[in-house]
Amino acid sequence: MTSQTPDRLSTVTQFILERERDRPNATGDFTALLNAIALAGKRISHDVNRAGIADIIGLTGETNIQDEQVQKLDMIANTQLERALAPTGLVCAIGSEEEDEPVQLENGENGRYVVLYDPLDGSSNIDVGAPIGTIFSIYKRKTPVGSTSNSLEDMLQPGRDLAASGYMIYGSSTMLAYTTGEGVHLFTLDPEIGEFILTNSDLKDDGGAKVYSANEGHSLTWDKVDLEWVSQLKEEGYSSRYIGSLVADFHRNLLRGGIFAYPGNSAAPNGKLRLLYEAAPLAFIMEQAGGSATDGKRRILDIQPTELHQRTPLYIGSASEVERIIKMRAHTSTTATR
């Protein structure tokens, strides 16, 4: 990873304001939106760090639309984000991994944005102290401002139309990364003062580490291309690193280089990860850092969503690594048709 190590003390708010000043038609909306998300992140970080003490570990007893058991912290994070975004008046609707349908926000008709998020990614790691996170996407709405948002039309947008995306990771420190299409910027929460402080601006993935992240426990359900791909990496001496939280595996690969894969499989051809609030927002970040992301054939950011919770196979990381798997899959599909 290469980046500019800042020679000044800057909070996320100051950093965005500075960049908004360079844009004459900036409205300050984005500052307010990212501030709201950062505020929710501070609250979630606080809750995550005291989960074991405050009896907020464990299950709610509900199952979500993903057919996954909902953890108490999934819902707490979901609520924190909605409570932080609603008062901005900038968001007409929210799409969440934990909400079956889009959530229209009160007085949201004048909101110019929709926000989609995975409020807590890596839930299975909550009670074992491994890093977890929040992943978010921000789109400009497509329906006219002033109308109650026809939220699905506003939400089912391809990642290439993202206004911004980012993630927060609650690990050994709490960090926030975002992009608006002009580079990736990374901030670290200083819990003493409750501010996200700029730690790296304009992160670039230099492709470095020979690392792959994939859950080989599922490899019996993989197709032969994925099996061939992983054995090639092993022959080339790659190390395997898999935390089981997408946001943590992604963050490591963004900083150090490497490739993350959650392939489709015989049981679930589209794999497990969700396009709108896991794959696309991280693909936008990765491309801005010089890497890339594919479903094995298509650029993730070019996929036109048809459902709010649709899943996609995901290969994301250094551009050369993603290129390799695309070529291998294309080659197999042509030879297979011969």
d(CA 120, CA 102) in angstroms, rounded, equals 17
Classify strands 91-96 and 113-121 as parallel, antiparallel or unpaired: parallel
Q: Which of residues 33-52 bind ligand AHG (CB under 6 A)?
A: none
Q: Is 312 in the site for ligand AHG (CB under 6 A)?
A: no
State in angstroms the smallest separation of the CB of 167 from ligand AHG: 11
In the list Mn ion, ligand AHG, none, the entry touching 258 (Cβ below 5 to 8 angstroms by class) is none
Q: Is 226 in the site for ligand AHG (CB under 6 A)?
A: no
In the shown chain, the binding pattern of residues 238 to 277 toward ligand AHG, with x for contact by CB under 6 A and - for none, equals ------xxx---------------x---------x-----
Strand partners, 211: 239
In the list ligand AHG, Mn ion, none, the entry touching 244 (Cβ below 5 to 8 angstroms by class) is ligand AHG
Stretch binding Mn ion (CB under 5 A), from 89-97, 157-165, 219-227, 230-238: 89-97
Q: Is 183 in the site for ligand AHG (CB under 6 A)?
A: no
Residue 71 makes CB contacts below 8 A (sequence gap 6+) with 57, 58, 59, 60, 120, 123, 126
Classify strands 174-179 and 164-170 as parallel, antiparallel or unpaired: antiparallel
| Residue 301 CA: distances (Å) to CA of 281, 282, 307 | 9, 10, 15
Identify whether the C-beta of residue 29 lies closer than 8 Å to the C-beta of residue 113: yes
Q: Which of residues 103-142 bind Mn ion (CB under 5 A)?
A: 118, 120-121
Residue 35's SS3 state is: helix
Q: Is 158 in the site for ligand AHG (CB under 6 A)?
A: no
Residue 228 CB coordination number (10 Å): 12
State in angstroms the smallest separation of the CB of 68 from ligand AHG: 6
d(CA 326, CA 323) in angstroms, rounded, equals 5
d(CA 85, CA 94) in angstroms, rounded, equals 9
Q: Which is nearer to Mn ion, 29 or 118 (CB)?
A: 118
State in angstroms the smallest separation of the CB of 172 from ligand AHG: 18
**CA 98, 100, 62, 36: dihedral to nearest 10 degrees?**
30
Q: Is 281 in the site for ligand AHG (CB under 6 A)?
A: no
Residue type (1 letter), 144: P
Among 47, 118, 154, 287, binds ligand AHG (CB under 6 A): 118
User: Whose CA is closest to 202, among 19, 9, 13?
Assistant: 19
State in angstroms the smallest separation of the CB of 66 from Mn ion: 8
Which stretches of the chain bind Mn ion, using CB under 5 A? 97, 118, 120-121
Which stretches of the chain bind ligand AHG, using CB under 6 A? 68, 97, 118, 121-123, 215, 244-246, 262, 272
